[in-house]
Structure 1
């Protein structure tokens, strides 16, 4: 089969989910480990790196700009960095595939180096807006030429020395925050980001771990994150914990499939990423944390999830920044709950790998769920614990989280749910269907 040919599939359920599984390394931490290791002087070692397409795109880009990024036979990645300020002119366009995180953070790095880089991506990434990153990086002196609508492909011409700024985030976005901070690494003076609403803080934690001078203090308009530029990063040994976004799919699956009792080992429990678990517990989900510990400055634990009778809730909008990637999985949980779940305040879902509000509304409707679409979310009438009617063919819109969410929905459906393409799943979770097979389900490939 040609690599550009869609690979449709459906899942034959295997009953209750039981046992103990692991999930891939956290994608956010994996991206940053590769980037910061490439900016340190010396060799960093990374264990548990997520080897999905997005992170591999980051690794390839850092290699194109002078770093050495290699995987040993034992699975440990060794990164020899070039030092802050040492990035080299790439001799080709940086191909980002489907990774918005790679693109936005690397734009920040290039913005304060004396190099020019062209960023390209797949059809899905090329539809995603980059203006929110272009604006602050341009204020720091970068010359950025984008396609119409502030989209990719785009070219970044860095300025060295760049101009330090104090930037008030207009929207809650860890990617925009991180892009400005990464530009500040090679900028003299202090670069500040004012964050009105907390977002995932992996950049701040890891930058401090690599030796950057960074503070976070309360301010009148929110947290003030201050980074002292011209930093010298020191190599680190990083053990990447399991991705809570990946764990969310199995958490929802175990909650909705009767008889399930599943343990998910070594999951990152950073408070800025835990909104999905808070929402699922509000719905009555039996989710407990065992063996809680701290690894590399991050809270980590094992999740034990048991089948639960879920009850509909009004999802607090303030949870959105801490669960923005997990809304598709939450929508599936809501489809099985008793009553009507209202999830609003998630405008960001409109500009993800797909328009996740519209795509999930259509997907759940195709599977027999009563859904009302809003500009900023969905209202979902649940089955009260009964299986979904199923049937129909789901259009994933090249979005990995849509594909995995609807695969989870198909684990408890009366009729098979056909999903149009398995390929996007490799973006973040290459072993997803293998794990589903281990748990008793049977994926079947269909004719395109």
Structure 2
């Protein structure tokens, strides 16, 4: 059942200083590694979204004590191999990260877990984690490689060497999490570098992990059964959430917005590089480190953007940001072309089809291809607007079209605003505050 529709209308500029919620990818991993460590893990800045709450609830159902202590979250770890079979299926909601990474965590433990999800998640393919985890000894029962899915962990998992067939941080992370409770050394090889939050955090928790370049690929080796120790984790602001406000400030006349404490991990920095190349006025200040991750403050001012041909090699470093980049391209001068984006067809929705249809509905000129979009920009003129635009239960489609509404003539109506809560529960409040 759809939630409430909502219309986002043009108005004043975006001004002031904001902070975006904690990084979703890092929040998931902090909970899972905290559960797998011995001792207490204290997490500050955890993203309190539907997706992350699904991970926390699943870990609690497997015996992990997780409590809020003031602004922090505290996890009492059970050590590697310490999870227990839950009494009921675990609901992953809309979270592909929860489903795939927890499959890895369970795969090398002598327990059985059934994972379920909402209608959107139940259409997303799990075969990409089933294949390597089955090689490690786990057993899977699923509906055509989708949820609901039962994972039966291996009593004694087998270390493997696995070359990723597609650039996927989730698949890489699932294999590395399974390796924690697997005797011997597990190796993951990726031809295209993906976000490295898992490797950074594993090392911070004390895992015996090494990574480096070999024969043009990144090779990661993890020695299992070495034990993790509880840590204090500081979660930086999510760059994927910041992206919506960055693009909004670039597009809305008179905007001058500062976004504090944004994660600047190089494996997530593709969008910033592209927007600056398009002519976006984005200043990076107060660069520092928090919890093993680089962070900075960003000052963004309204700018005239120019279309680009986007290098497909940048796709893994900005895979979640393409929907909002498409909005920026729709108002740029000239044409923006993207290729190599087949992965977007198996996200929370088919994001290529969804964004092509959504932008077309509100007056943008868009051509859809098998692996990308070609967008002919307005040269800065506002889009017509309209709707209701189908969000397809996809939080990034919903927020991208909200931003498009700010740069339109008569506003943009989305059919369902509720998916926004999966990653950015305070999005609408923050947006209204910047325009007050």
**TM superposition score category, shorter chain reference:** over 0.9
Output the CA distance in 2 between the equivalents of 1:358 and 1:261. Answer: 32
Aligned residue in 1 for 2:271: 276
2:153 to 158, 165, 188: 158
Structure 1 residue 339 corresponds to structure 2 residue 327: no
Output the CA distance in 2 between the equivalents of 1:436 and 1:217. Answer: 41
Which has the higher mean CA deviation after the structures are superposed, 316-325 or 4-13? 4-13
Structure 1 residue 8 corresponds to structure 2 residue 20: no
Output the CA distance in 2 between the equivalents of 1:86 and 1:396. Answer: 39
Output the aligned Cα RMSD: 0.8
Query: What is the deviation of 1:184?
Result: 0.4
Output the CA distance in 2 between the equivalents of 1:284 and 1:335. Answer: 14
Aligned residue in 1 for 2:22: 25
Unaligned runs of 5+ in 2: none
Output the CA distance in 2 between the equivalents of 1:392 and 1:8. Answer: 10
**1:38-437, aligned counterparts within 5 Å?**
38-72=35-69, 74-148=70-144, 150-220=145-215, 222-437=217-432
- 1:195·1:221 contact (CA, 8 Å) conserved in 2? no
Output the CA distance in 2 between the equivalents of 1:308 and 1:217. Answer: 39
Aligned residue in 2 for 1:446: none
Q: SS in structure 2 opposite 1:387?
A: coil
- 2:10·2:410 contact (CA, 8 Å) conserved in 1? no
TM-score under structure 1 length normalisation: 0.96
Q: SS in structure 2 opposite 1:314?
A: coil
Which has the higher mean CA deviation after the structures are superposed, 383-392 or 259-268? 383-392
Distance 1:5 1:399, change over 3 A: closer
Q: SS in structure 2 opposite 1:123?
A: coil
Query: What is the deviation of 1:40?
Result: 0.9
Output the CA distance in 2 between the equivalents of 1:416 and 1:256. Answer: 14
Output the CA distance in 2 between the equivalents of 1:345 and 1:5. Answer: 32
TM-score under structure 2 length normalisation: 0.99
Output the CA distance in 2 between the equivalents of 1:307 and 1:440. Answer: 14
Output the CA distance in 2 between the equivalents of 1:180 and 1:278. Answer: 30
Output the CA distance in 2 between the equivalents of 1:194 and 1:221. Answer: 10
Q: SS in structure 2 opposite 1:200?
A: coil
Unaligned runs of 5+ in 1: 442-448
- 1:106·1:179 contact (CA, 8 Å) conserved in 2? yes
Number of residue equivalences: 436
Q: SS in structure 1 opposite 2:199?
A: helix
- 1:194·1:221 contact (CA, 8 Å) conserved in 2? no
Query: What is the deviation of 1:217?
Result: 2.0
Query: What is the deviation of 1:119?
Result: 0.4
